[in-house]
Amino acid sequence: MQLKRWGVLILIAGVIIVPLAVYWHRLAPVFASPEHVADLVRGAGLWGPLVIIVLQAFQVILAPIPGQAVNFVAGYLFGFWPGVLYSWFGLLIGSAVAMLLARFAGRPVVKRFVAPGTLARLDALAARQGLLFFLLVFLLPFVPDDAACFVAGLTPLPLQALLLTAAIGRLPSIVLTVWAGARAGDLPVAIRAIAGVAVAAGLFVIWRYRETIQDYLLRLAGRIK
């Protein structure tokens, strides 16, 4: 068992963590806006879908990075169905890596990836909860679903069931944001400008009251049986 644990950790480090550490100074600016993501994907040419998948996996592990920008660009550049597929596959990889890190490396490693306040709130609410709780966390908007992947890995719940729960629960938000990206080019400039202002205002409200919103939604998920 100990050998298996070390083997999983070495594999994760080799495939995800090491490249991320080496190239993070180049990747970090990419997530500043959808335009940067689009430029990177366009520059990759035929490798563009792989870039979307890799960026999605990275943004799960580094929770402060907004994955919605990657979803939007996937829809804008590749269309609805390919965009959903690439984003969904990348999120599944990232979710699996987060759960495996938590399961085999334990809480000390999780603390390096999840903010202390977020980890404490999720810990308190996830105690003695089952798969339904995590399904609701992945379904509800504005909750820390990336951090929930790490917390889910700390529970005794089967990893296969947790990953299936993440695959189902995260799909609606992917569909919505990829659809928005796929339709963005069809909208008049004025409508896009208004939508951009509305989204920016909404994001500011969410950022300003994010902890209150998250606490309420997480408590709601914990009460539903």
Q: pLDDT (tens digit, 9 = 90+) per residue, 96-130? A: 999 999 999 899 989 988 889 889 989 888 887 88
Q: pLDDT (tens digit, 9 = 90+) per residue, 128-161? A: 788 999 999 999 877 889 999 999 999 999 999 9
Predicted pLDDT of residue 184:
76
Does 187 score more than 70 pLDDT? Answer: no
Does 199 score more than 90 pLDDT? Answer: no
Do 97 and 60 contact (CB within 8 A), yes or no? yes
Q: pLDDT (tens digit, 9 = 90+) per residue, 208-224? A: 666 676 676 677 777 76
**Of the candidates 183, 153, 154, which has an alpha carbon nearest to the alpha carbon of residue 75?**
183
Band of pLDDT at residue 34, cut at 50, 70 and 90: low
* The dihedral formed by the CA atoms of 184, 198, 115 and 112, expressed in degrees to the nearest 10: 20
Predicted pLDDT of residue 144:
87
Write down the H helix ranges in the chain.
2-12, 18-27, 34-43, 48-61, 68-78, 80-105, 107-113, 116-126, 131-139, 145-154, 159-169, 171-184, 189-208, 210-223
Backbone φ and ψ of 8, nearest 5°? -65, -45
